[in-house]
Amino acid sequence: MAGVLAGCGGPGDSGDVTLKLVAADYGDSAANSSKKYWDKLSKDFEADNPGIKVDVTVLSWNDVDREVKEMVKKGDAPDLAQIGAYADYAAQGKLYEADELLSIATQADFMAPLAQAGEVKRIQYGMPFASSTRLLFYNTKLFKDAGLTPPQSWSGLQTAAKALKARGVKIPYALPLGPEEAPAETLMWMLSGGGGYTDNVGSYDIDSKQNAKTFAWLRDELVGKGLTGPKAPGEMNRAEAFAAFSRGEVGMLNGHPTLMKMAAKKGVKFGMVPAPGVNGKAQATMGVADWMMAFKQNGHRKEAGKFLDFVYSKKNVLDFSNEYDILPVTTSAFDAMSKDRGHTELGKFLKELPTSQLYPVGKTSWAQVSADIKKDIGKTVAKDGNPSMILGRIQGRAAAAENAE
């Protein structure tokens, strides 16, 4: 597929510009593939903008980042890519700045935490495209049978997990610190303990006292007491945890909107509450965003900017968000969705978005740090795990990677 994405236009195209867009697929079947969304949006745009064509290729999340990387390496960068990470391309000088592309109104409409996460050295290159937050899911039947209410603090979560274990629940709390998405579960727990990946000025702070205390508590009070199921957290992946919840085998776990559909499909009744903190609701939850970026290679700044202003119109952002049960990235669409769906289950995720904290994706070192977390974080909660030492090792490598930039 990568081969057909190189270049633009050809002889006899009367000066038309063809924008090449590579996008990730948010659908789970051919029937709801993102290709349908992009095909319709492109046709609508082309009808209003004669002289600009949009050629879209939609690839699965398993392939899209790798394919774009290969295209850029070969000198065949697309004009636009909607993928998982932008910072490496920005650091290499390959991307347009957002304010070179977007109207002032469009750029100002991005939600603040998402726009800030799209910056490298205070300049925005990554334009948020889709977002999500996390909530604590709990199995309402298991909770009702055990006479439990949803936990609001760590001690409440532990008490509920103990009661579920006593009733034979296989996995009272699922703690997926396996390599699939360890950085997400890690950040959720760090935030709930008052820490995070970075400090107030954006420097890595992985081995902070708060983070060390958080993982010591997990080791001693959840994992050590047999409340996370028979499998070691470092070997459990998110997909496995979600599947177990959808089979009714899990009492509680952190989840994103996709889990609502998965559980409902299997007939599992569930509730959702904000992540518990040390002594009450966590001050912030984790947010996640996927990114749109525009490559300089083909020189189509003006045309790409015009298309992006169209992509980020309130209607189009809402259409995409509603189709795939994800959260909008603009304030105008957020306000509209809050009015329309604020009292629905998705509305609970919406409420967490304005105060969410994202991965430090603007750091080109983040890819290496993320890989280190996937490899080592599970060891912090093992029986003989030493959270301070392991977090210190990850911090040391993170600082070295950052200084090497």
Summarize pLDDT for 131-142 with one digit per residue, the tens.
Answer: 999 999 999 999
Predicted structure pTM score: 0.86
The yes-or-no verdict on residue 338 having pLDDT over 90 is: yes
Residues of the chain with pLDDT > 70: what percent? 96
pLDDT of residue 255: 95
State the distance between the two ends of the chain, measured CA to CA, in whole angstroms.
Answer: 32
CA distance 198 to 348: 26
- The top-scoring range by mean pLDDT among 279-283, 310-314, 336-340 is 310-314
Instruction: Calculate the average pLDDT of the chain.
Output: 93
Query: What's the chain's length in residues?
Result: 405
Distance (Å) of CA 387 to CA 197, 355, 359, 392, 395: 14, 27, 20, 8, 12
The yes-or-no verdict on residue 9 having pLDDT over 60 is: no
- pLDDT digits over 233-263, tens only? 999 999 999 999 999 999 999 999 989 989 9
pLDDT of residue 281: 87
The yes-or-no verdict on residue 15 having pLDDT over 90 is: no
Q: How many CB atoms lie within 10 A of CB 257?
A: 20
Mean pLDDT over 97-109 rounds to: 98
The yes-or-no verdict on residue 116 having pLDDT over 60 is: yes
Mean pLDDT over 271-298 rounds to: 94
- pLDDT digits over 124-169, tens only? 999 999 999 999 999 999 999 999 999 999 999 999 999 999 999 9
Pairing of strands 80-83, 287-294: antiparallel
